[in-house]
Structure 1
Amino acid sequence: MDTDTSPTTSSPDTALAPAAPRPYGALSGVLAAASAVAVGEVTAALVPAWPGPVVAIADRVIEGAPAALTAWAIDTFGTADKPLLVAGVLVVLALAAAALGVLARRRPGLALVGVVALGAVAALAGLADPGFGPAAAVPGLAAIVPGVAVLLVLTAAQARLGVAGAGPGVGREHGPAGGSADPGRRRFLVLAAAVAAGAAATGTAARVLLARFDVEAARAALTLPAPSARRDLPAPPDAALDVAGATPLFTPNDAFYRIDTALQVPRIDPATHRLQVTGMVERPLSLRVDDLLRRDLVEVPITMACVSNEVGGDLIGNAAWLGLPLRELLDEAGVSPDADQVVGRSTDGYTGGFPVAAAYDRDTLVVVGMNGEPLPAEHGFPLRLVTPGLYGYVGSTKWLAEIELTRFDRFDHYWVPRGYAVEAPVRTQSRIDVPAGRSELTAGRTPIAGVAWAPTRGIAQVEVQVDDGDWQPAELAAAVGDDTWRQWVLRWDATPGSHRIRVRATDGRGETQPEGRRGVRPDGATGWHTVTVEVAA
């Protein structure tokens, strides 16, 4: 049988087969997604409480992720986990949009269904957020319209201008260089550039709208009253040791650790914000920020720690907190004797829960100020809880919107289903700050210094061991109070060679922190902080 193997000359129309122009289809899909996201973001910016489509989806990813995956992300990426998650959502969205753009050349109806489905996912993500009402679905729904419109326009432009079926350099009119003279391709790219510019302008408009409420201006306009009482303040002069490199007694606000689930810091207007006290109470309360500021506030130094703080870690800080004792609000509301859990709810839906007893046996505060100024936005402005002796995830809800009285057997707060303990008292811990691990030192008198903490119990003793020598008691700075960390120092005669230095602390109840190392889950890390140094002759 004869087979014709002679070359075939394609007509221009044959060169426009729909299988070739995938880059154009992919670009159309990505630009449709960019336009959709931009319109969704500008819609969300109209109402400060609404989440944008990307953040709404990312929030649902966090909620739905397996506990092990969430823990791995926190342990691996630390404070970078949130921007990486948002970036991941954007990458997945871009890939899905590119695929829909390619599909639109052959199956436009199916591709449009995909665009609508993506918008519906964003709308449902906003709707599912417990911190917002049904209207939070509006940004996702609004994103559908530009997504569909842009994909239709760019897909039609490919066919109409001779681009559908033509890869780069292939079109109806071929110049000597194989496509450099193709007006269809140029027109498509001009249209695509216009769409990209429109999406960028819309995104800029969203940022402008967001800036119309300046949370920093609101902070600056908020005048904190003088405290009616200052407990354990001012700190004794000898509470801070004069050791170069030592951790400050009070952590500056801009250096205080931040760990939370918020992908974007809530922007709350203190003029309209209200705190609700609800649940198992006789008299529910609804209080404005000004109502709280007119009450007798107290200022208390409290060391706060994150349950994710590894042995020797820095997810801990000490601050002077200004606020109203929580027990006063609970007494005013009249707590049911059957209630055993206080739940703090954030404006973004986060919940932390702790025993009702902890509102009465310590200085648990509804906080308005931190180190002499209104709460920074990233630390909960305008209201948050601070509970001495409990890890932040249970007792220190930020952007506080509601205090609910309930029972532990009726409600699990946010991190409990994700593998963390229901109740989480801060463990006794100590840390070596000077010298840093792997330091190179000079032989002679050298300070070994750091901090130790056991909030609500206080620190009674700190001991240091060099190599396998005897444990030596460190010099303790004056205690500020049982709720704060305590500085310590040991003057060491360093000898040449490599040395291992360990520290352990004993709390005010006489309990020494255990040696055995354990990770942060489910209720805080354990073990002695250890560093290795090299001493030159």
Structure 2
Amino acid sequence: MKPAKAALTGLLAIIAALAAGHLVAAFVGLSASPYLAVGNAAIDLTPSWLKDFAVSTFGTNDKLVLLTGMVIVIAGIGVAAGLASRTSPTPGTVVAVVLGVVGIAAVLSRPDIGQLSVLAPLASLATGAYVFRYLHKEVQQDESRRGFLITAGLAVAAGVTGQVLGSRTDVEGSRRAIGDLTPKTKAPEIPVNADFAKDGTPSFITSGEDFYRIDTALSVPRIRAEEWTLRVHGMVDRPMVLTFDEIRQRDLVEETVTLTCVSNEVGGPYISNANFVGIKIGDVLREAGVKSGADQLFSTSDDGFTAGSPLDYVLERGLIAIGMNGEPLPAEHGFPARLVVPGLYGYVSATKWVTDLNVTTFAKEQGYWIPRGWAARAPIKTMSRIDRPKGFGKIQGRTVVAGTAWAQPKGVAKVEVRADGGPWQEAELGADVSDSTWRMWRLELDLKPGAHTVECRATDKSGYTQDQARLDPVPDGATGWHSISFTVQ
């Protein structure tokens, strides 16, 4: 067999295997697709330092980079299997079986899919082995062109059909059917001077499209509100199961809350602010009757992600949110419901697509990130960031330094700025909307032409000023003064 035909045989066989698994997954759960299941397993098994590197390097594109890398690796395996099988189909068949077993193991390791989901990787295994042997025989009989064309066509059709069928859950239709979410208690109106967007800060309210996302799963869960339920159990007197309609019929409240990711480096972008609508978690838990000794609310997402929130924070200020910025939650931000707990980093407070609330203790349960080296309790640290000027930029005319500070739930009392190691100057603050939100700041500096370095630091309402020492995000959030260098012309 010629090398080119051998390589193409292996490549087409592996494509057909993945397409078959994706098609079957459309009926048993799209997360069971071997391609996605292996990717999710890879994420779960990736060391924390490598995950941190991926997030800091690729940002919210880290999943795309992983999927692209998987395509390259899988294609390489297929080509290598084909080249190793120029005289016999046995090596390629063995590779197909091994990859199928890997897919089965990945699916069985997922906590968010049922037992029937194993049918998807089994379909991949059988299809991969069969197609490889079929194409190998076609090449030997010099009928490779017809076999290649048929296989390629069927693989594309199967993959596309699987994706279409797997995405058939009408989430957007379910969102539209909800209509307006009218809170009984509305958030305060946002003053016009809440931000300094004209000077380079973000707008005070972040749109759904711009709101940061850090997920562990490769695919966004697709859940209709009509089919969603939330189980409340554990160390409670009266376990409960709530439907979306039951939550909606309760007294809805609207709160403006800033969410922050613990992965944020000093000056990082993973912080956003929105108006969330929902019900108080504390009201639900008090209705259920929290037993003595409980200190953690352990939440589980539809995709299997788990998080543990300190119970005292949750009882005081946590929300089960069903709306965001005047409409039902976007699918990528947790529709039908998510948790929002001001004052805690997102990995212990902001479970999206939440389906289960277990009142328990930190001694009994650990959330997804805790065994991976992150702190169990993660209060947000007082921080500030310079948004303008940009690092190494060039400025003409007046020098306006503007940025963002946050200290949820204590609130920001002041922000100070200094240039070139000189005296600290107090910045002008935007309107104080809530202690659970970020606060914008600006300061005009009189700087001579040339190179300059500017630093900022925030002080919260408890009197604490953010630490100068630079520490990495692991295990409980970064610290340090943000600084930038630029040139005045």
Q: Which residue of 2 aligns with 1:201?
A: 157
Q: Describe the shift of the 1:248–1:265 C-alpha distance in structure 2 as closer, same or farther (beyond 3 A).
A: same
Taking only aligned residues, the RMSD between alpha carbons, in angstroms, comes to 1.8
| Alignment match of 2:194 (pick from 239, 242, 246) | 239
Correspondences of 1:399-438 after superposition (within 5 Å): 399-438=353-392
Q: Which residue of 2 aligns with 1:115?
A: 96
1:242 Cα offset (Å) = 6.4
1:282 Cα offset (Å) = 2.3
In the alignment, the residues of structure 2 paired with residue 50 and residue 531 of structure 1 have an alpha-carbon distance, to the nearest angstrom, of 43
Correspondences of 1:492-531 after superposition (within 5 Å): 492-531=445-484
Letter in 2 for 1:292: I
Q: Describe the shift of the 1:506–1:405 C-alpha distance in structure 2 as closer, same or farther (beyond 3 A).
A: same
1:374 Cα offset (Å) = 1.0
In the alignment, the residues of structure 2 paired with residue 143 and residue 518 of structure 1 have an alpha-carbon distance, to the nearest angstrom, of 46
Residues 1:145 and 2:126 aligned together: yes
List gaps (5 residues or longer) in structure 1.
1-19, 162-183
| Alignment match of 2:206 (pick from 226, 251, 275) | 251
Correspondences of 1:45-444 after superposition (within 5 Å): 45-48=26-29, 50-109=31-90, 111-159=92-140, 161=141, 184=142, 187-231=143-187, 233-241=188-196, 243-361=198-316, 363-444=317-398
In the alignment, the residues of structure 1 paired with residue 93 and residue 452 of structure 2 have an alpha-carbon distance, to the nearest angstrom, of 66
Q: Which moved more, 1:279-288 or 1:399-408?
A: 279-288
Letter in 1 for 2:352: K
Q: Given that residues 181 and 327 in structure 2 are in contact (C-alpha distance below 8 angstroms), is that contact kept between their aligned partners in structure 1?
A: no
In the alignment, the residues of structure 1 paired with residue 71 and residue 232 of structure 2 have an alpha-carbon distance, to the nearest angstrom, of 38
In the alignment, the residues of structure 2 paired with residue 25 and residue 436 of structure 1 have an alpha-carbon distance, to the nearest angstrom, of 52
In the alignment, the residues of structure 2 paired with residue 245 and residue 204 of structure 1 have an alpha-carbon distance, to the nearest angstrom, of 43
Q: Which residue of 2 aligns with 1:453?
A: 406
Letter in 1 for 2:163: R
1:309 Cα offset (Å) = 0.9
How many residues are aligned here?
Answer: 489
Q: Describe the shift of the 1:453–1:117 C-alpha distance in structure 2 as closer, same or farther (beyond 3 A).
A: same
1:139 Cα offset (Å) = 1.0
1:119 Cα offset (Å) = 1.6
Q: Which moved more, 1:526-535 or 1:300-309?
A: 526-535
1:105 Cα offset (Å) = 4.7
1:378 Cα offset (Å) = 1.1
Letter in 1 for 2:153: A
Letter in 2 for 1:29: G
Structure 1 residues 345-364: Cα deviation after superposition (integer angstroms, max 9, x where no partner): 11111111111111122x21
Letter in 2 for 1:270: A
Q: Given that residues 228 and 297 in structure 1 are in contact (C-alpha distance below 8 angstroms), is that contact kept between their aligned partners in structure 2?
A: yes
1:404 Cα offset (Å) = 1.2
Structure 1 residues 304-323: Cα deviation after superposition (integer angstroms, max 9, x where no partner): 11011111111101111111
In the alignment, the residues of structure 2 paired with residue 118 and residue 313 of structure 1 have an alpha-carbon distance, to the nearest angstrom, of 39
In the alignment, the residues of structure 2 paired with residue 479 and residue 133 of structure 1 have an alpha-carbon distance, to the nearest angstrom, of 48
- The secondary structure found in structure 2 opposite 1:271 is helix
Q: Given that residues 382 and 458 in structure 2 are in contact (C-alpha distance below 8 angstroms), is that contact kept between their aligned partners in structure 1?
A: yes
List gaps (5 residues or longer) in structure 2.
none
In the alignment, the residues of structure 2 paired with residue 501 and residue 507 of structure 1 have an alpha-carbon distance, to the nearest angstrom, of 20
Residues 1:474 and 2:427 aligned together: yes
1:49 Cα offset (Å) = 5.5
Q: Given that residues 503 and 529 in structure 1 are in contact (C-alpha distance below 8 angstroms), is that contact kept between their aligned partners in structure 2?
A: yes
Q: Describe the shift of the 1:113–1:283 C-alpha distance in structure 2 as closer, same or farther (beyond 3 A).
A: farther
1:107 Cα offset (Å) = 4.7
Q: Given that residues 466 and 481 in structure 2 are in contact (C-alpha distance below 8 angstroms), is that contact kept between their aligned partners in structure 1?
A: yes
In the alignment, the residues of structure 2 paired with residue 103 and residue 196 of structure 1 have an alpha-carbon distance, to the nearest angstrom, of 21
Q: Which moved more, 1:209-218 or 1:255-264?
A: 209-218
Q: Given that residues 260 and 270 in structure 2 are in contact (C-alpha distance below 8 angstroms), is that contact kept between their aligned partners in structure 1?
A: yes
1:91 Cα offset (Å) = 2.5
Runs of 4+ displaced beyond 4 Å? 103-107
Q: Given that residues 341 and 354 in structure 1 are in contact (C-alpha distance below 8 angstroms), is that contact kept between their aligned partners in structure 2?
A: yes
In the alignment, the residues of structure 1 paired with residue 55 and residue 124 of structure 2 have an alpha-carbon distance, to the nearest angstrom, of 31
1:442 Cα offset (Å) = 2.3
1:120 Cα offset (Å) = 2.3
- The secondary structure found in structure 1 opposite 2:474 is coil
Q: Which moved more, 1:486-495 or 1:473-482?
A: 486-495
Structure 1 residues 390-444: Cα deviation after superposition (integer angstroms, max 9, x where no partner): 0001110111111112211122111111111111111111111122222222244
Q: Given that residues 429 and 454 in structure 1 are in contact (C-alpha distance below 8 angstroms), is that contact kept between their aligned partners in structure 2?
A: yes
Q: Which moved more, 1:325-334 or 1:304-313?
A: 325-334
In the alignment, the residues of structure 2 paired with residue 240 and residue 21 of structure 1 have an alpha-carbon distance, to the nearest angstrom, of 66
Q: Given that residues 57 and 122 in structure 1 are in contact (C-alpha distance below 8 angstroms), is that contact kept between their aligned partners in structure 2?
A: yes
Letter in 2 for 1:435: P
In the alignment, the residues of structure 1 paired with residue 196 and residue 154 of structure 2 have an alpha-carbon distance, to the nearest angstrom, of 58
Larger radius of gyration: 1
Letter in 2 for 1:503: C
Q: Which moved more, 1:96-105 or 1:22-31?
A: 96-105
- The secondary structure found in structure 1 opposite 2:226 is coil
Q: Given that residues 465 and 503 in structure 1 are in contact (C-alpha distance below 8 angstroms), is that contact kept between their aligned partners in structure 2?
A: yes
Letter in 1 for 2:407: A
In the alignment, the residues of structure 2 paired with residue 69 and residue 526 of structure 1 have an alpha-carbon distance, to the nearest angstrom, of 20
Q: Describe the shift of the 1:431–1:68 C-alpha distance in structure 2 as closer, same or farther (beyond 3 A).
A: closer
In the alignment, the residues of structure 1 paired with residue 22 and residue 30 of structure 2 have an alpha-carbon distance, to the nearest angstrom, of 12
Percent identity over the alignment is 42
Q: Given that residues 224 and 293 in structure 1 are in contact (C-alpha distance below 8 angstroms), is that contact kept between their aligned partners in structure 2?
A: no
